[in-house]
Amino acid sequence: MEAKRRAITLLLVASIALCGYFAAEGADWMLLEKTDKAAFYYAKDKNSVPGRDVQNVWVRKVYLDSGQRDYAAGMAEIDCARRTYSKIQYKVYNKRGTIMQDKGLDANTLRLQIPRGSVIERLYDTVCADRF
């Protein structure tokens, strides 16, 4: 019985992770900002409701250098009312598409203040624009 319960739990966790992956892959990516080192894209999570205080946003950072990394992708939770954010999920992929780093999901992620002049501030301005 315990083995069956573990198998069901593992299947559920894998399903949630895959749903997040496919939601991000099927997203309508919009260019947010481009620097000499990386290009930043975003896509609102299809479950986010415009006008709400908290918005979930898919973020993709494409590295423009010649290193081993190709891109990083994840979900950020932006609190428009409090001007804070947290990383909900974050993965770094190499040139072959293999995951090099996986931060996973963390319900206890710290909420951070959005720094002025940062890429995350630009994301905040973009996704929270319909609140103001």
Of the chain, the percentage scoring pLDDT greater than 70 comes to: 70
Residue-level pLDDT at 131: 67
- Provide the domain count of the chain: 1
User: For residues 53 and 50, what is the distance between their CA atoms, to the nearest angstrom?
Assistant: 9
Residue-level pLDDT at 80: 93
User: Is residue 9 in some structural domain?
Assistant: no
User: Is residue 19 in some structural domain?
Assistant: no
Whichever domain contains 87, its CATH number is 2.40.128.710
How does the average pLDDT of the chain come out, rounded?
Answer: 78
Residue 23 scores a pLDDT above 60: no
Residue 11 scores a pLDDT above 60: no
User: Is residue 112 in some structural domain?
Assistant: yes
Q: Which of 48, 59, 125, 124 is nearest to 92 (CA)?
A: 59
Residue-level pLDDT at 78: 92
Residues spanned by the domain of 98: 28-131
pLDDT band at 110 (very low <50, low <70, confident <90, very high): confident
User: Is residue 62 in some structural domain?
Assistant: yes
Query: What pTM value is reported for the model?
Result: 0.70
User: Is residue 48 in some structural domain?
Assistant: yes
Instruction: Give the pLDDT confidence of 64-94 residue by residue, as tens digits.
Output: 987 778 999 999 999 999 999 998 888 999 9
Listed in order, strand segments (DSSP E) in the chain are 30-34, 38-44, 54-63, 69-79, 84-94, 99-102, 112-113
CB 91 within 8 Å of CB 109: no
Q: What integer is the mean pLDDT of 1-18? A: 42
User: Is residue 118 in some structural domain?
Assistant: yes
User: Is residue 16 in some structural domain?
Assistant: no
